Amino acid sequence: MRDKTIHRLLEGIRRYGLENVSTLSKWIDIPVETARYMIWEELPKHKIGVGVSVNLPRIGLGRWSLLVNPAQKNYAEAIEAFLKDGAGGVYLARIIPSNSIYAHIGIPFGEHYKLKEHLEYLKSSGVVESYSLEELEWSRYVSFNPSFYDFKERAWKFDWKDVDEAREPLLTPYTKEEQAPIVDYKDLLILRELQERVPRTLSKLSRKLELDQHNLRYHYKSHARRAIQGYYVKLMPGDAISFQTSMIFALEIENEKSLTEARSTALSLPFTSFVWKTESEFYWYASFPGEYTNGVLSFINERFTRISGKLRIMMLDSKSERSGHIPVELFDERAGMWKYEPRSAFLTLKK
């Protein structure tokens, strides 16, 4: 693929998504069939995927940031099992070398106190040393920036002195006020499947979910598509996950200026793929080949000599990362509503 065309294609996907390939092809100025071929045949060969961002509040879920420090390192596995079993885990990773656990949890609105009660029980029982649970005010995916990537060599290729332009993710922050539409179980299955892999056609999606085509189209157009926040482009790590370095950066926000500058730094880093904010902290996630570790830390260090606020870095065990999807298991299909009932923390204590 010609670099100019693929750069235009990736930018077009960020702007227009994949719902209307003809609009996308006009913007790129290539035939529709060429656009389809590039999206479904060429991009996967280059380990480039298209992700769908689902607006959790629009389907009735708040998104929470959770950091758990086990009282002993060998308690981490039992705590992980608790978080994976009915707690609504959307993302989970171990922090090294402390063996602490960082997670994003999807919780029906007003139900987070249930998780807090379990965590307090584990803390009073000596399983958890400490924890912090904060609701995300907003979050955004950041599309892969092809300017720093060599498609012929299929590798990152850039000079750090050229890393000075912040990418602006085109997805808008979600807010609690945007809680329509009402969704049912079929809508959630559609959204979860779109998160897993964007299908070439809705017909393929209907076969995968074993739903009648007309029924699926109704659910998609009437409900599911309205919960889609946007599309983003991602570079797949491939089979070399053990050679990847994954980090979460967290800044204690002192003022609006420090937040703006930290956000600009996060978005200019070529490897940043997700940013989010709680009431007190701004976070960003980056994953990259191990040989770039020193360069990333030097880049961040240089930038934060001029930015106020305490910055901490969580080094993740990349092999422990679990990126989930909508916690459909929390939805009661028969009752048509979310039910939040995390597994008993007492069972974790016994384990």
Q: Do 163 and 148 contact (CB within 8 A), yes or no?
A: yes
Give pTM, 2 decimals: 0.89
Confidence at residue 153, expressed as pLDDT on a 0 to 100 scale: 83
Looking at the chain, the whole-number percentage of residues with pLDDT higher than 70 is 91
Q: What pLDDT sits at residue 17?
A: 83
Would you list the domain boundaries of the chain?
51-142+158-351
Q: Is 93 within 8 Å of 321 (Cβ atoms)?
A: yes
CATH number of 51-142+158-351: 3.30.70.3460
DSSP assignment of 9-44, as one string?
HHHHHHHHTTS-HHHHHHHHTS-HHHHHHIIIIIHH
Residue 321 pLDDT greater than 80, yes or no: yes
> Stretch 67-87: mean pLDDT, rounded?
91
Higher pLDDT residue, 307 or 178? 307
- Name the nearest CA neighbour of 251 among 299, 273, 284, 296: 284
Could you report the per-residue pLDDT of 60-75, keeping only the tens digit for each? 999 999 999 999 999 9
Assess contact for 82 and 345: CB atoms under 8 A. yes
